[in-house]
Amino acid sequence: MGRIGKNPTLLDDKQSQNPAKKSKTETSSSQLMEQLLPTIQDQFDCGLWIFWHDGAPCHKVMASDDHRFLSSSLYSSGVLVAWDPAPFSSNLSQWYNHTDYPIFIQYQRYRRLHPQQPFYILHPRFEWQLWQRIQDNMAEPIQKNPPSSGLLGTILMMSLCEVVHVYEFLPSRRKTELCHYFQRFYDAACTLGAYHPLLYEKNLVKRMNQGSDRDIYVHGRVTLPGFSAMNCTAKAVREH
Protein backbone atom coordinates (compact mmCIF):
# COMPACT_ATOMS: atom_id res chain seq x y z
CA MET A 1 0.00 0.00 0.00
CA GLY A 2 1.37 3.38 -0.95
CA ARG A 3 0.31 6.88 0.06
CA ILE A 4 1.20 10.17 -1.55
CA GLY A 5 0.95 13.20 0.71
CA LYS A 6 2.43 16.58 1.52
CA ASN A 7 4.25 16.26 4.86
CA PRO A 8 1.76 13.55 5.85
CA THR A 9 0.41 13.28 9.38
CA LEU A 10 0.37 9.62 10.32
CA LEU A 11 -1.71 9.45 13.49
CA ASP A 12 -4.53 11.56 14.84
CA ASP A 13 -4.48 13.08 18.34
CA LYS A 14 -6.64 10.39 19.91
CA GLN A 15 -4.34 7.63 18.73
CA SER A 16 -1.26 9.57 19.83
CA GLN A 17 -2.71 9.84 23.32
CA ASN A 18 -3.67 6.14 23.44
CA PRO A 19 -0.78 4.00 22.16
CA ALA A 20 -2.66 0.81 23.04
CA LYS A 21 -5.00 1.45 20.11
CA LYS A 22 -2.21 1.62 17.58
CA SER A 23 -1.40 -1.34 15.39
CA LYS A 24 2.21 -2.49 15.08
CA THR A 25 2.41 -0.87 11.64
CA GLU A 26 1.06 2.45 12.96
CA THR A 27 3.54 2.50 15.83
CA SER A 28 6.50 1.68 13.59
CA SER A 29 5.36 4.18 10.94
CA SER A 30 5.03 6.94 13.53
CA GLN A 31 8.47 6.27 14.98
CA LEU A 32 10.16 6.07 11.60
CA MET A 33 8.47 9.20 10.29
CA GLU A 34 9.49 11.17 13.38
CA GLN A 35 13.10 10.20 12.68
CA LEU A 36 13.09 10.39 8.87
CA LEU A 37 10.91 13.37 7.96
CA PRO A 38 12.99 16.06 9.74
CA THR A 39 16.12 14.67 8.03
CA ILE A 40 14.49 14.93 4.61
CA GLN A 41 13.16 18.42 5.34
CA ASP A 42 16.63 19.57 6.40
CA GLN A 43 17.98 18.53 3.00
CA PHE A 44 15.17 20.06 0.92
CA ASP A 45 12.55 22.74 1.29
CA CYS A 46 9.52 21.94 3.44
CA GLY A 47 7.07 21.93 0.53
CA LEU A 48 7.92 18.41 -0.58
CA TRP A 49 5.60 15.56 -1.48
CA ILE A 50 6.31 12.11 -0.11
CA PHE A 51 5.44 8.64 -1.32
CA TRP A 52 5.11 6.56 1.83
CA HIS A 53 5.25 2.81 1.25
CA ASP A 54 3.24 1.39 4.16
CA GLY A 55 3.72 -2.30 3.57
CA ALA A 56 5.07 -4.91 1.25
CA PRO A 57 3.21 -6.17 -0.55
CA CYS A 58 0.31 -3.72 -0.42
CA HIS A 59 -2.37 -6.33 -1.11
CA LYS A 60 -1.47 -7.98 2.21
CA VAL A 61 -1.95 -4.67 4.00
CA MET A 62 -5.43 -4.37 2.52
CA ALA A 63 -6.41 -7.96 3.27
CA SER A 64 -4.97 -8.45 6.75
CA ASP A 65 -6.90 -7.40 9.86
CA ASP A 66 -3.55 -6.78 11.58
CA HIS A 67 -3.09 -3.53 9.65
CA ARG A 68 -6.64 -2.22 10.33
CA PHE A 69 -6.84 -0.95 6.77
CA LEU A 70 -10.50 0.05 6.89
CA SER A 71 -10.34 1.91 10.21
CA SER A 72 -6.79 3.19 10.78
CA SER A 73 -6.08 6.89 10.29
CA LEU A 74 -2.80 5.75 8.74
CA TYR A 75 -4.81 5.10 5.58
CA SER A 76 -7.06 8.15 5.65
CA SER A 77 -4.70 10.90 4.45
CA GLY A 78 -2.90 11.70 1.23
CA VAL A 79 -3.69 9.70 -1.91
CA LEU A 80 -3.91 5.91 -1.64
CA VAL A 81 -2.48 3.72 -4.40
CA ALA A 82 -2.84 -0.07 -4.43
CA TRP A 83 -1.69 -2.81 -6.79
CA ASP A 84 -1.88 -6.57 -7.05
CA PRO A 85 0.40 -8.74 -9.20
CA ALA A 86 -1.02 -10.31 -12.34
CA PRO A 87 0.46 -13.14 -14.45
CA PHE A 88 2.43 -11.89 -17.42
CA SER A 89 0.00 -13.32 -19.98
CA SER A 90 -3.32 -12.60 -18.25
CA ASN A 91 -5.77 -9.98 -19.45
CA LEU A 92 -7.67 -7.50 -17.31
CA SER A 93 -10.73 -9.73 -16.85
CA GLN A 94 -8.63 -12.71 -15.79
CA TRP A 95 -6.76 -10.58 -13.29
CA TYR A 96 -9.95 -9.04 -11.87
CA ASN A 97 -11.49 -12.45 -11.29
CA HIS A 98 -8.35 -14.10 -9.89
CA THR A 99 -6.41 -11.56 -7.81
CA ASP A 100 -3.94 -12.93 -5.26
CA TYR A 101 -5.79 -11.13 -2.47
CA PRO A 102 -9.35 -9.71 -2.25
CA ILE A 103 -8.29 -6.14 -3.01
CA PHE A 104 -11.46 -5.24 -4.89
CA ILE A 105 -13.70 -6.35 -2.03
CA GLN A 106 -11.62 -4.26 0.38
CA TYR A 107 -11.56 -1.38 -2.08
CA GLN A 108 -15.37 -1.37 -2.25
CA ARG A 109 -15.66 -1.53 1.54
CA TYR A 110 -13.18 1.31 1.91
CA ARG A 111 -14.97 3.48 -0.65
CA ARG A 112 -18.25 3.08 1.23
CA LEU A 113 -16.59 4.12 4.49
CA HIS A 114 -14.45 6.92 3.00
CA PRO A 115 -16.17 8.15 -0.17
CA GLN A 116 -14.10 11.36 -0.33
CA GLN A 117 -10.70 9.69 0.08
CA PRO A 118 -8.64 9.64 -3.16
CA PHE A 119 -7.86 5.97 -3.81
CA TYR A 120 -6.58 4.33 -7.00
CA ILE A 121 -5.68 0.82 -8.19
CA LEU A 122 -2.87 0.49 -10.72
CA HIS A 123 -3.62 -1.27 -13.98
CA PRO A 124 -1.65 -4.57 -13.97
CA ARG A 125 -0.26 -3.73 -17.41
CA PHE A 126 1.81 -1.03 -15.71
CA GLU A 127 3.83 -3.65 -13.81
CA TRP A 128 4.73 -5.60 -16.93
CA GLN A 129 5.50 -2.50 -18.98
CA LEU A 130 7.98 -1.59 -16.27
CA TRP A 131 9.36 -5.14 -16.24
CA GLN A 132 9.91 -4.87 -20.00
CA ARG A 133 11.84 -1.60 -19.59
CA ILE A 134 14.08 -3.30 -17.01
CA GLN A 135 14.68 -6.22 -19.37
CA ASP A 136 15.39 -3.88 -22.29
CA ASN A 137 18.21 -2.32 -20.27
CA MET A 138 19.84 -5.59 -19.22
CA ALA A 139 22.20 -7.77 -21.25
CA GLU A 140 20.87 -11.03 -19.81
CA PRO A 141 17.37 -12.48 -19.37
CA ILE A 142 15.71 -11.71 -16.04
CA GLN A 143 13.07 -13.72 -14.22
CA LYS A 144 9.54 -13.01 -15.40
CA ASN A 145 8.28 -11.83 -12.02
CA PRO A 146 6.74 -8.39 -11.40
CA PRO A 147 8.94 -5.52 -10.19
CA SER A 148 9.04 -4.63 -6.52
CA SER A 149 6.59 -2.29 -4.84
CA GLY A 150 9.50 0.07 -4.20
CA LEU A 151 10.28 0.50 -7.87
CA LEU A 152 6.59 0.76 -8.80
CA GLY A 153 6.21 3.62 -6.33
CA THR A 154 9.38 5.28 -7.61
CA ILE A 155 8.19 5.19 -11.23
CA LEU A 156 4.79 6.49 -10.16
CA MET A 157 6.43 9.52 -8.51
CA MET A 158 8.64 10.07 -11.57
CA SER A 159 5.40 10.37 -13.54
CA LEU A 160 4.16 13.11 -11.20
CA CYS A 161 7.26 15.07 -10.17
CA GLU A 162 10.13 16.84 -11.91
CA VAL A 163 12.68 15.44 -9.44
CA VAL A 164 12.36 12.37 -7.21
CA HIS A 165 14.60 11.54 -4.24
CA VAL A 166 14.54 7.89 -3.18
CA TYR A 167 15.99 6.75 0.15
CA GLU A 168 17.69 3.40 0.84
CA PHE A 169 16.60 1.75 -2.40
CA LEU A 170 20.33 1.67 -3.02
CA PRO A 171 21.59 0.80 0.47
CA SER A 172 23.72 3.30 2.38
CA ARG A 173 26.40 2.58 4.96
CA ARG A 174 23.48 1.80 7.31
CA LYS A 175 22.60 -1.32 5.28
CA THR A 176 21.11 -4.19 7.28
CA GLU A 177 19.22 -7.36 6.38
CA LEU A 178 16.02 -6.07 8.02
CA CYS A 179 13.18 -6.54 5.53
CA HIS A 180 10.51 -4.06 6.68
CA TYR A 181 10.48 -1.22 9.18
CA PHE A 182 7.40 -2.65 10.96
CA GLN A 183 8.57 -6.27 11.26
CA ARG A 184 11.65 -7.81 12.89
CA PHE A 185 12.36 -10.19 10.04
CA TYR A 186 15.84 -10.41 8.54
CA ASP A 187 16.66 -11.77 5.09
CA ALA A 188 19.26 -10.58 2.59
CA ALA A 189 16.84 -11.47 -0.22
CA CYS A 190 14.78 -8.40 0.70
CA THR A 191 17.71 -6.27 -0.50
CA LEU A 192 19.28 -8.50 -3.13
CA GLY A 193 16.11 -10.03 -4.54
CA ALA A 194 14.55 -13.47 -4.79
CA TYR A 195 11.06 -13.19 -6.26
CA HIS A 196 11.38 -9.62 -7.58
CA PRO A 197 14.25 -8.74 -9.97
CA LEU A 198 15.72 -6.42 -7.36
CA LEU A 199 19.35 -6.52 -8.45
CA TYR A 200 18.37 -5.48 -11.95
CA GLU A 201 16.06 -2.79 -10.60
CA LYS A 202 18.87 -1.36 -8.50
CA ASN A 203 21.29 -1.41 -11.44
CA LEU A 204 18.79 0.55 -13.52
CA VAL A 205 18.15 3.09 -10.75
CA LYS A 206 21.91 3.51 -10.26
CA ARG A 207 22.25 4.29 -13.98
CA MET A 208 19.49 6.90 -13.79
CA ASN A 209 20.84 8.51 -10.62
CA GLN A 210 21.81 12.16 -11.06
CA GLY A 211 23.22 12.50 -7.56
CA SER A 212 26.65 11.60 -6.24
CA ASP A 213 27.99 8.29 -4.99
CA ARG A 214 28.52 10.01 -1.64
CA ASP A 215 24.79 10.74 -1.41
CA ILE A 216 24.14 7.03 -1.80
CA TYR A 217 26.78 5.97 0.72
CA VAL A 218 26.01 8.57 3.40
CA HIS A 219 22.29 9.23 2.98
CA GLY A 220 21.10 6.25 0.95
CA ARG A 221 19.67 8.82 -1.46
CA VAL A 222 19.38 8.71 -5.23
CA THR A 223 18.15 11.66 -7.28
CA LEU A 224 16.06 10.76 -10.30
CA PRO A 225 14.62 13.03 -12.99
CA GLY A 226 10.89 13.07 -13.50
CA PHE A 227 9.71 11.93 -16.90
CA SER A 228 8.70 15.50 -17.75
CA ALA A 229 12.34 16.55 -17.28
CA MET A 230 13.95 13.51 -18.92
CA ASN A 231 15.58 13.72 -22.34
CA CYS A 232 15.80 10.32 -24.03
CA THR A 233 16.83 11.46 -27.50
CA ALA A 234 19.76 9.71 -29.14
CA LYS A 235 21.86 12.89 -28.88
CA ALA A 236 21.24 13.19 -25.12
CA VAL A 237 22.07 9.53 -24.59
CA ARG A 238 25.37 9.89 -26.47
CA GLU A 239 26.32 13.01 -24.50
CA HIS A 240 25.49 11.29 -21.25
For residue range 203-217, what is the model confidence (pLDDT) as tens digits? 999 999 999 999 999
CB count within 10 Å of CB 104 equals 15
Look at residue 40 and tell me whether its pLDDT is greater than 60.
no
15 or 91: which carries more pLDDT confidence? 91
Look at residue 47 and tell me whether its pLDDT is greater than 80.
no
Structure confidence at residue 38 (pLDDT): 43
E strands in 27-103: 49-53, 79-82
Query: Cis peptide before 57, with omega less than 30 degrees from 0?
Result: yes
Q: In this structure, are residues 69 and 119 in contact, taking their beta carbons and an 8 Å threshold?
A: no
18 or 149: which carries more pLDDT confidence? 149
Question: Tell me, what DSSP letter sits at residue 95?
Answer: H
Structure confidence at residue 82 (pLDDT): 87
Q: How confident is the model at residue 237 (pLDDT cuts 50, 70, 90)?
A: low
CB count within 10 Å of CB 41 equals 13
Structure confidence at residue 238 (pLDDT): 57
Q: How confident is the model at residue 59 (pLDDT cuts 50, 70, 90)?
A: low
Average pLDDT of span 37-59:
50
pLDDT digits (tens, 9 = 90+) for 92-140: 888 888 888 888 999 999 999 999 989 999 888 899 999 999 999 999 9
- Continuous segment of H or E residues that includes residue 180: strand 178-180
Radius of gyration of the chain (CA): 18
Q: In this structure, are residues 103 and 62 in contact, taking their beta carbons and an 8 Å threshold?
A: yes
132 or 10: which carries more pLDDT confidence? 132
What is the pTM for the complete model shown? 0.74
Structure confidence at residue 62 (pLDDT): 81
- Continuous segment of H or E residues that includes residue 224: strand 221-225
Question: What one-letter code names the amino acid at 11?
Answer: L
Look at residue 219 and tell me whether its pLDDT is greater than 50.
yes
List the chain domain ranges: 1-122
Average pLDDT of span 20-29:
50
Structure confidence at residue 223 (pLDDT): 95
Structure confidence at residue 235 (pLDDT): 57
Q: In this structure, are residues 96 and 104 in contact, taking their beta carbons and an 8 Å threshold?
A: yes
Q: Coil, helix or strand for 85? A: coil
